[in-house]
Amino acid sequence: MEARDTTSTIRDYLRQSAAETEAELSRSLAPSWEMPKTLRESMSYSLGAGGKRIRPSLVLTAAEAIRGSAADRKSALPVACAVEYIHTYSLIHDDLPAMDNDDFRRGKPTNHKVFGEAMAILAGDALLTHAFKLVAHTAKLGVPAETALAISEELAELAGASGMVGGQAADMLGEQGITSIAELEYIHLHKTSDLIVFSVKSGGRIGCASNRQLDLLELFGRNLGLAFQIQDDILDLVGDAEKLGKPTNSDVEQQKVTYPYLIGLDESKALVSRLTDQAKSAIIEAGLAEPSRLLQIADYLVHRDH
């Protein structure tokens, strides 16, 4: 009963965090900005398509966890939106015919299926660029300028060539030949983990985390992100397409190398569990004022079905 109650509580919490993010997202792209109507529609289509909003929730949760401060959580909202902008742009581009060639995302036709490939690319470009404006906006909410600058620098690194984009490039190169377990780990760590690392560290910076706490938040994000992606690999095999919002077995059909393909389904599940335990240990060691939500999110992501 206690496990079910905890799961229900964290689901409610994540829904609340997603609602906070949604409200801020609706204000984040100024109506007064002049741009072609179709570009705005394309950006808004994917940005407003829903999803778990895990990364923004991690930003908000980490910000509040350091000192137990709701004010830090509020100051972190623009960064929560920024990471969702980055994540959304990456999904738009990942779905393109030249990349993963997907027809559905979050239960809806992918952006290029609705607006065409050129507009989808431009919408992704615009979302990426606007994310950095949102980070800069935190300085107007009382976040020290040097903190906003550190967050912006880390976002460029973790979302760019040495981070998420590098992971995507390695994924594409891996599809052209056999991928080893080391290469697959590199792909997952950069394609998925790096944005999760950014989420918790940026929230930590806003909450005035110490350098030691930032290092442990990075370890938490690295392990959680890898577990999260391996769980995605598992769900592609055994998940419910309706809950996932996209077809299952797409990795198999595209002959993509995954953890279950390389080490088997049972060992993949065991690895998710081990990585999650390591992530939680980092949070416990960090000595945060309010660590419970981060620990609950880690457990929830292991047992999720979508």
- pLDDT at residue 247, rounded to an integer: 47
- pLDDT at residue 96, rounded to an integer: 97
Please name the residue that has the structure tokens 């290029």: 112
**Domain count of the fold of the chain:** 1
The answer on pLDDT for 30 being more than 90 is no
Mean pLDDT, range 15-31, rounded to an integer: 93
- pLDDT at residue 1, rounded to an integer: 38
CA-closest candidate to residue 18, choices 68, 63, 52: 52
End-to-end CA distance of the chain: 22
- pLDDT at residue 236, rounded to an integer: 85
CATH of the domain at 268: 1.10.600.10
pLDDT tens column, 171-182: 888 776 667 889
φ/ψ bin of 264: left (φ > 0), alpha (ψ from -120 to 50), beta (otherwise)? left
How far is the C-alpha of 84 from the C-alpha of 34, rounded, in Å?
A: 22
The answer on pLDDT for 8 being more than 80 is no
The four Cα atoms 160, 164, 165, 166 give a dihedral, to 10 degrees, of 100
Domain extent at residue 60: 2-303
pLDDT higher at 233 or 121:
121
